[in-house]
Chains A and B, each alone.
Chain A
Amino acid sequence: MLGTDPEWEAMEMKMRDRTVERGMSESVRTTMRCDAVFRSIDPRFDQINTLDCRRGNGADKITWAPPAFVSDLSRFHRRYSQAVQTDRPYRVAIVGSGPAGFYAAYRLLAKAENAVVDMYEKLPVPFGLVRYGVAPDHPEVKNCEEKFTEVAASPRFNFIGNVELGDKLPLHTLKPHYDAILFSYGAPKDKELGIPGEKAIRNVYSAREFVGWYNGLPEHRDLAPDLTTGENAVIIGQGNVALDVARILLSDVDALRKTDIADHALEELAKSKIKRVRVVGRRGPMQAAFTIKEIRELLQLPSVSFDPIPRDLLPPDDAMAALPRAQKRLMQLLAKGSTNDPATATKSWSLDFLLSPECLNWSPVHPYRLSHVRFSRNQLDPSDPYLPTAKVTPKYLSSGKPAQVDIPANTFFRSVGYKSLPIPGLEDIGVPFDTGRGVIPNDGFGRVTAPSNTGDNKRLPDGSLISHLPGLYCAGWVKRGPTGVIATTMTDAFTTADAIVSDLAGQQGKGSLLNSPGHSTGLGWEGVRPEAEKLGVHATTWGDWERIDAAEKEVGRQNGKIRSKFGRVEEMLDVLRS
């Protein structure tokens, strides 16, 4: 059984000599063997083992507590009973701990038996947009965190929190220690409108920042949006982020109190004077990006009315009946609208179509305070206005002037899409970035591709040449752009993980994908850590997150919420110091 690995054999011989010499029994020797082997696989071994022992026998006892022993033995069997084995674990770095990173890790650990994953995260806390993007009133969507927590329980998974790759810890420090790097850091910025007044006027916000703020994201802890300047809010963009913002503004604040919404956001929302929200898009209903669930939720909000959509904007009845199922159901729902009576409703909202924002204006009475937004009207391509890909052109009056309209607005949100950026230093390890599309160029399976034929050339079925950069992968929004729900990202992350597994299998144990033979230490985080510490970067572990998690839930319990998120990184780290 042990004969497959010369290195192991040597280690075992050494161990046996030493233990027989000291009169140890076979069982004790087995334990020591397991420990030695496992330590070489998983740097957390000693920590895990000590914890087990602390739980079981008290901190001063030796580390052979039964649970650790038995599971070590099993790990030992697993590690050394495989017919095909490389001489060491296959080390994968995953950059970003959102759903893309976790679903990729999940698939990779399940399919590649000798893979060991190190997941790097900028914050001390995991889960990315599941924690900081999913709306607080959608707790069921966050149930995927349970699965991620299971993944993290694997001894072949390390969480390396509080480490910002790029500026703080250069990416190239990772390269020699890993066999593959997977980028799944998402889309950390959002697109701007580029219209006059966007930067100069107060009460103009990015929906992404607003979402981060009410979800307790440290980066936007101090956004402090002023929701008290008037009744009218305008949101530009008709995706689900825009609808999330609308729903948070329109919801009864008491309905949000028990959620994990940030405490500072609750305070501000309780003071909000916003009574009317307009969600504005430049195209028509058939071209909008929102999905039906979010529309239905808004239509069902108690005491909130909805302005009926002009019937001519929706496809005629016969055309609607012929639409594919999903579009048909959405159009029927929009045509039906809300049953809430505008006369008794306390708040209202509307979907406004075919309007492009031109500029933001303030009233002469209150300089720099937003008063209205000027829009120019659009018209859909008349040849097929109900095509989901139909384009718009500006609409002109008979006088030849562009048709324009002013809409009153006291608070303004732009929500026209997230945007991914290259991590500083990405080019140092040879990874290109497509700034136009905001993605890392890839082959659709998640293998990073080079613009020129500098990598591994492969011919596609259509005859064109594609150039892979071995050992470099991407998944999630940085791979396919900032669209789709968690199920989309899961599918996409599985595709990338399958590509890694198949590339690994194609290697037949010859070594690293990322580095040429003999140039990879295979140490993973253990190799990176000394350099990181020299640079003053101190990582946090999964155990640290569990303590932060417990502390957040405890504070939440006292406040009658499911969780009170710490709004600042320092507050998270304080939990660990206490």
Chain B
Amino acid sequence: MPFWKEACLNLRFAVPKSLPGDRSCFAQSKRFLSHSAQSSRFVASSRVSQKHSLAVKTQRSWQRRSFSVTAGVQHGHITPPKPGEEINISFIDKDGEKYDFKVAEGDNLLDIAQANDLEMEGACGGSCACSTCHVVVEDPDMFDKMEEPSDDENDMLDLAFGLTETSRLGCQVVMTKDLDGLVVRLPSMTRNLQASDFS
């Protein structure tokens, strides 16, 4: 095959290098690699439209992290809320920043967090076999409104860092109308060092 002919044929796929949306063609598994502010912002906004999550406050999402975008794609399957049936939920990240979302009934907190690119791991893929999606419910009354955690969930919570009286696993908390206005805090995933670490 003549080299130049082939090259010219391929030109129709060529994209001007300054085209702002070129990252839309990224394979999803590679999207976490985007790390310029511009590209991440683009990913964040496309996510919102793809996932129909009504993120009220996503402006800063690109600054927080870029890697977990794919996790959201893999595990963060959330359904769009029907108009008039949105449930409000807020996450407070480990830096104290608050993020509000409107979500549908039936989605769990791990999926919501990952779909919105919050720093929450789900090492076991949301199967209640690890403690990496640990969240702390801010309001004890709201905690009491939830269904009792199962033995399996409590077994995992027992191993969580920074366990509190109102701790839950994000993958086990399913949103209902009763939980409208729920506020959860994400504990820090990096441990504070103790004196014993140096002995």
Contacts and interface: CB of A to CB of B under 8 A. Distances in A.
Contacts of A498: 190
Given A150-B32, A154-B30, A69 B13 contact: yes
Contacts of A30: 14, 17
Contacts of B56: none
A71 interface: yes
A64 B17 contact: no
B13 A487 contact: no
A31 B16 CA distance: 10
Interface stretch (B2-10, B97-105, B174-182): B2-10
A70 B193 contact: no
B193 A143 contact: no
Interface string B130-157: 1110000000000000000001101110
Dominant secondary structure at the B interface: loop
Interface stretch (A244-252, A290-298, A351-359, A375-383): A290-298
A74 interface: yes
B29 A141 contact: no
A138 B65 CA distance: 30
A144 B123 contact: yes
Interface in A115-162: 138, 140-141, 143-144, 146-147, 150, 153-156
A494 interface: yes
Given A155-B30, A156-B33, A494-B190, A140 B125 contact: yes
B7 A143 contact: no
B10 A110 contact: no
A66 B15 CA distance: 10
Nearest to B67: A110
A291 B157 CA distance: 11
A27 interface: yes
Contact of B22 (A28, A31, A77): A77
A471 B67 CA distance: 24
A31 B190 CA distance: 41
Contacts of A293: 152, 155-156
A143 B123 contact: yes
Contacts of A413: none
Q: Contact size class for A?
A: 35 or more
B123 A74 contact: no
Interface stretch (B44-52, B77-85, B158-166): B158-166
Contacts of B27: 67, 71
A490 B188 CA distance: 12
Interface string B1-41: 10100110011011111000011011101101111101100
Interface in A54-79: 60-62, 64-67, 69-71, 73-78
A73 B22 contact: yes
Interface string A456-484: 00001000000000000000000010000
B34 A74 contact: yes
A69 B11 CA distance: 10
B121 interface: yes
A297 to B, nearest CB: 10
B10 A69 contact: yes
A33 to B, nearest CB: 9
A67 to B, nearest CB: 7
Nearest to B68: A110
A25 B11 contact: yes
A154 B33 contact: yes
Given A78-B33, A494-B190, A110 B65 contact: yes
Interface in A8-35: 24-28, 30-31
Interface string B162-199: 01000000000000000000000000011101000110
Given A77-B36, A106-B67, A62 B123 contact: no
Contacts of B59: none
Best-buried of A27, A76, A82, A106 by chain B (most CB within 10 Å): A27
B14 A113 contact: no
B12 to A, nearest CB: 9
A443 interface: yes
B158 A291 contact: yes
For the complex of A and B, 7 pairs with smallest distance between CB atoms = A110-B67, A444-B197, A143-B125, A27-B14, A326-B158, A140-B127, A66-B13
Given A74-B34, A291-B159, 16 more contacts: A24-B7, A27-B16, A71-B26, A77-B17, A77-B22, A109-B67, A140-B129, A144-B124, A153-B29, A460-B198, A485-B130, A487-B123, A487-B160, A490-B132, A491-B191, A498-B190
18 contacts: A62-B3, A62-B10, A64-B10, A74-B22, A110-B32, A143-B127, A144-B130, A150-B32, A155-B33, A296-B152, A326-B158, A326-B163, A330-B158, A444-B197, A490-B132, A492-B191, A495-B190, A495-B191
Interface of A: 24-28, 30-31, 60-62, 64-67, 69-71, 73-78, 81-82, 106-107, 109-110, 113, 138, 140-141, 143-144, 146-147, 150, 153-156, 291-293, 296, 325-326, 329-330, 443-445, 460, 480, 485-487, 490-492, 494-495, 498
